[in-house]
Amino acid sequence: MASGIFDRLRPPASGTRNATVLAICQGLFTAAVAIDLTLTGLTGYQLAPDKSLATLPFAMITVAGAVVTIFASLLMERIGRRWGFTLGALFGALGGLVSVLAVFRGDFWLFCLGTAGVGAFQAFAQYYRLAAADSVPDEAKAKAISTVLAGGVIAAVLGPALAAWSKDLYPVLFAGSYLMVFLLGLASAALLAIGYRDVAMHAAAGQAFELPARPLATVMRQPIFLAAAANNVIGGAVMMLIMTAAPLAAVACSHSIDDGANIIQWHLVGMFGPSFFAGRLIARFGLATVLFAGMALNVACAVVAVASASLTAFYLALFCLGVGWNFMFVGGTTLLARSYRPAERARVQGAAEILRYGLTAIATLGAGPLLETYGWSNLNIVILPMIVAAGIVTLVWVRQERRAVLVPAGE
């Protein structure tokens, strides 16, 4: 395979540089997606021939991302991540350009195609953190993942601000904002093509590089993979369920629309801010401790939200939710990167991302109806059994790891 040739030409030290490049690209990607997330609902409503279709362009981001995810993984296994990531960023740039044209022409269906391009960009960008983890040894994986996610901190705040600043650049409303999506995708593609290099994958501790690939079902039955999936998938679903409903719940509780937007910005700081130190926390206190701390913060979110509907409670709950997601996501990704052999990478990563996308999409689509039917307090109670399930699966992995350490000592 082409990637295998490149892998052996590049020194492992390139992994550190790659993490920096990917962090910058994560920032560019997050800013581009934040523009789409901020404006696509409004643009869709403006262009839709039937107002019941107004959220379809927004849904296309998630749907296209889910469809492309597995193909992105398999494609990068063949052509290497450098060119795969570059292609993904070009999809994003093209999506932004198509969206500009759609807004100028008032073409709703063309706009759906443009947002699907951003969804394809998202599918490739979801592998940035895994690429960083694969290119460094076990002890450095958490730090590499955190470095990449830290790139989203400034972008999470900058993206909505950039959307507001650029929406009136042209006489046609929002055209300038989607031009920013095009430019951000193009900048990301250029940086990846010039600065990123395919490097040799570090096998997990105790695994020989030449070990053959196991059946996917065998890999997915491992306690370490199940714990990775529980933290990534459940953590992501819980976060999207509460985050999607929070602005609507805030308005229903007599807070302003601006308050709802500020709550989400504070939540985004909680999501990405801990990336600056999550890797160090894992190195100092251990992976399991950080994972359980993330679950505890999600529980704290639910408790605060149920206890009060004040604006302060919304801010505190959503901040706890963001930090809890970060700890579970960084920790879960670290576990995932340790769960497969080099020969299994593409299939296992693709399967894991499909699981995460699928449940996250269901949570996003279900947030509105659940909020309408059961209310804000009950919606937060719903997440508690999910967090408990993640905790049980993680505990099984912890016990298996301890047995693996103790058994050789007794022989």
Domains of the chain by range and CATH? 1-200 (1.20.1250.20), 215-411 (1.20.1250.20)
The Cα–Cα gap between 125 and 277 comes to: 22
Q: Which of 360, 349, 358 is nearest to 325 (CA)?
A: 360
- Give which of 288, 285, 287, 324 is closest to 303, Cα–Cα: 324
pLDDT for res 205:
47
**Predicted pLDDT at 319:** 94
Q: What is the pLDDT of residue 212?
A: 84
Token pair for residue 188?
A: 């990301």
Render each residue's pLDDT in the chain as its tens digit; 411 residues: 444 433 433 434 566 788 889 989 998 998 888 788 767 777 887 888 887 677 678 778 878 888 898 888 889 988 999 999 999 999 999 999 999 999 999 999 999 999 999 999 999 998 898 888 877 777 778 788 888 887 777 777 777 778 778 877 888 888 898 999 999 999 999 999 999 988 766 554 445 456 788 999 999 999 999 999 999 999 999 998 898 788 778 888 988 867 776 787 788 888 888 887 888 888 899 999 999 999 999 999 999 999 999 999 999 999 999 999 999 998 999 999 889 888 888 889 888 988 887 888 788 777 778 888 899 999 999 999 999 999 999 999 999 988 877 655 444
Residues whose CB falls within 8 Å of the CB of residue 411, separated by 6 or more in sequence, listed in order: none
pLDDT of amino acid 233: 94
Between the CA of residue 179 and those of 105, 167, 202, what are the distances in Å? 15, 9, 39
Phi, psi of 53 (to 5 degrees): -95, 5
Question: What distance lies between CA 218 and its chain's CA centroid?
Answer: 26
Whole-structure pTM value: 0.75
Residue at token pair 């022989």: 411
CB atoms < 10 A from the CB of 78, how many? 12
Instruction: Name the residue among 128, 130, 116 with its Cα closest to residue 36.
Output: 116
Contact present, 267 and 321 (Cβ < 8 Å) = yes
Nearest Cα residue to 148 out of 282, 22, 280: 22
User: Is-contact 188 368, C-beta < 8 A?
Assistant: no
Q: Which of 156, 160, 159, 56 is nearest to 102 (CA)?
A: 56
Angstrom distance (rounded) from CA 295 to CA 50: 42
Alpha-carbon distance of 110 to 100, in angstroms, equals 10
